[in-house]
Chain A
């Protein structure tokens, strides 16, 4: 008997022999009865005219109205999205920090909302939140800056090396690669370095070179030397001096046969490159050559 023979039988597609074979089988009578009874089956009544009238009156009749509303809906969607974006960006911009930065051979001054002042040395950046300033006097610093802080709540300078906290005073923070120095000129400054807090009274400084806390000399004057266009060093490895020279004059410094680890004590002028180069080379007994923006320092006995 072929596949699906019951379906074929119902459809009258069986061959003579197949039909004879099927009729001879025990279950044929049952199938025959099933065929007869199911042919009298009826589905529930369906009033086609009423369904069509209903369709035309109630459903299709109202459909165009829905379509005319669509453009307005789209307008509302767009308006809602724009409103959300505007509100979102307003809040986002409000929480953004103010950032001031300087390039090589550049210097700038920032006045904070409470009249505290920040003097930014070359290649440095400060950022703070203008909106939350009343609640939190917190400044993030990269590079070097001199702070004149108005009396008030705690004023914090965060750097990636250490944190400086004060109430109201004048101090300088230098945060360069492998070099961190805080100098207090007035009042009392608290420096936290690697979880350790140090109190700096006026006229003292705190210095970390290559991760080591170094005894530092007494600062002179009541503002850092760079505020009067000089860079002053006392027993500082030459490489940091040269790095400062690069920042102040926007030049590229290279050395040849020069030990940059030896300490340098002295001052160079931040406005006159020629004078600054002499100030560095003469006490260190090295020679220099200038080619455009490049400065080469070399040992005295090499050409």
Chain B
């Protein structure tokens, strides 16, 4: 039987989930350093408990450890997102358009930071990491319906914030 204690299995679990763990903690608290630490902490715990955690449980194990690590401990900081490189397209746009685009992105960042932590995390996991609602529901330990609710409310708040309603 395959075991997380085996080096190649552990490495594959790490490759499959470390990035999402990193993003997950980053979306929650906006702190890259803490997100890096969470990845290290979660996978060290997984290694220490490798005999007890089966490979299919490893995913939810690392999310739980990472989540519990900072439970009520740190205050959320500003979440600063980047954008996919679109400079090639941008060079053809007018300065006015670029200016507007910049303003829009600023508003979006403010709006994202104004969201409750669980809505922001859920929204970004879906939009940036392409996680399915069911997957996020499993990570957060809630129902798919609750995730849909969060997505709906997040979209609504973002639009209201950006359109200045």
Contact = CB atoms under 8 A, between A and B. Distances in A.
Interface of A: 3-8, 10-11, 27, 30-31, 33-34, 37-44, 46, 48, 51-52, 54-55, 59-60, 63
Nearest to A5: B152
- What 6 A-B pairs are tightest by C-beta distance, nearest first? A7-B151, A4-B152, A7-B148, A6-B155, A4-B148, A42-B82
Interface residues of B, number: 47
Contacts of A7: 133, 147-152, 155
A34 B155 contact: yes
B124 interface: yes
Contact of A43 (B26, B86, B123): B26
Contacts of B86: 40
Contacts of B74: none
A42 B81 contact: yes
A235 to B, nearest CB: 82
Contact of B40 (A27, A42, A59): A59
Interface in B115-137: 123-124, 126-129, 133
Given A27-B163, A30-B162, A42-B84, A37 B155 contact: no
Most buried by B among A5, A38, A54, A59: A38
B57 interface: no
B151 A4 contact: yes
Interface of B: 11, 14-15, 18-19, 22-23, 26-27, 32, 35-36, 39-40, 43-44, 47-48, 80-84, 86, 104-105, 108, 123-124, 126-129, 133, 145, 147-152, 155-156, 158-159, 162-163
Given A4-B148, A37-B104, A38-B127, A43 B159 contact: no
Contacts of A6: 151-152, 155-156
B129 to A, nearest CB: 8
A40 B104 CA distance: 13
Nearest to A38: B127
Contact of B22 (A8, A30, A46): A46
Contacts of A63: 44, 47-48
Given A4-B149, A7-B133, A41 B14 contact: no
Contact of B82 (A39, A44, A51, A54): A44
Contacts of A39: 127
A48 B11 CA distance: 10
Nearest to B19: A46
A27 B124 CA distance: 21
A3 B144 CA distance: 13
A37 B86 CA distance: 11
18 contacts: A4-B145, A7-B155, A11-B133, A27-B163, A30-B159, A33-B104, A34-B108, A34-B159, A41-B84, A41-B124, A41-B127, A43-B82, A43-B124, A44-B82, A46-B36, A48-B14, A55-B44, A63-B48
B44 A59 contact: yes
A23 to B, nearest CB: 15
A38 B159 CA distance: 12
Contacts of A44: 26, 32, 35, 80, 82
Contacts of B43: 55, 59
A63 B43 CA distance: 12
Contacts of A41: 81-84, 124, 127-128
B159 A27 contact: yes
Nearest to B44: A59
* A10, A27, A40, A41, most chain B CB atoms within 10 A: A41
